[in-house]
Structure 1
């Protein structure tokens, strides 16, 4: 069954808890979403609060994917650029699909929904993201239409002696592809 996506849902305590639990589960399964396992919901909460503050300021939008039970199964944050010379593209970050749903095409569906959401924002021509090298995420994003446009060697320190590249990827937005 497909996920149901919603852009800018009402941020209720249930949604807060769902996003926090998703973030912890993805991190603890080895997902490269800003933490290194093991991580607890309490460790994630301050980062989520920073995301919420950006949402309240109108700088960030939240895309949520819910499974057939209504549980938060996927998320992505779309951050608008405030720099006057870069307002034609946005950042996509904290892209997550719950481990129990991986391998079902939900990641591709999430990225397609994020691209559609970006297209709905006036003046946005591209989506930019970064990912941690050595995880295979760059290959996944490339398969979804993103192209590598830069790489900062050893920019991410996962652990002492384990430095990873920060891979910069871009998806130029044209018209939405026709549905077949």
Structure 2
């Protein structure tokens, strides 16, 4: 099995359910993708629908990483039992959004960057960011990618290792719980 990325895939029920499962699992593993655990699919669904609306309006693009079979005979296809990979399983995703502000259309936002917790640490995050960079470079007039992340999670180091630079920080802007405020960190990847 290998991880293959698709930009702007058709939104089928299987993809929708895969994204919902991914986002819920990432959130429940402590991922900083807009929620604090515990969450259920019903908690995440409205946020996913908002992304789908932005996609339908042409402002946002979806990048999905799924497993595909290596080789024509299917011998490498796992059945998904006991956490094994399944062909077509959504294991990584991110949303790339054009900036609609007239003075800032030269850069794009990268939102909701997710790799399934079972697959973190194996290079899938770097592969996802590289695929997002390729997608942004293909967008006319885009000179940079901007994202935000929750401080105190180590994400700044990960994004820096992928070429992003910290360009801003708002101390204590994210409240994940009583007495647990985190910095909102802005990262930028220059494409020119």
> TM-score by structure 1 length?
0.95
Q: Which runs of 4+ in 1 moved over 3 A?
A: none
Aligned to 1:160: 178
- Work out whether 1:151 is the aligned partner of 2:169: yes
The equivalences for 1:114-133 within 5 A come to: 114-133=132-151
Unaligned runs of 5+ in 1: 175-180
Q: For 1:48-92, what per-residue CA distance to the aligned partner results, in whole angstroms no more than 9, with x for missing partners?
A: 010000000000000000023110000000011111100000000
Unaligned runs of 5+ in 2: 69-86
Aligned to 1:4: 4
Alpha-carbon distance, 1:44 to partner: 0.4
State the aligned residue count: 174
Aligned to 2:155: 137
Aligned to 2:99: 81
Q: Hey, what's the Cα distance between the residues in 1 that align with 2:159 and 2:22?
A: 20
CA RMSD, 1 decimal = 0.7
Aligned to 2:50: 50
Q: For 1:89-137, what per-residue CA distance to the aligned partner results, in whole angstroms no more than 9, with x for missing partners?
A: 0000100000111111000000000000000100000000000000000
> TM-score by structure 2 length?
0.89
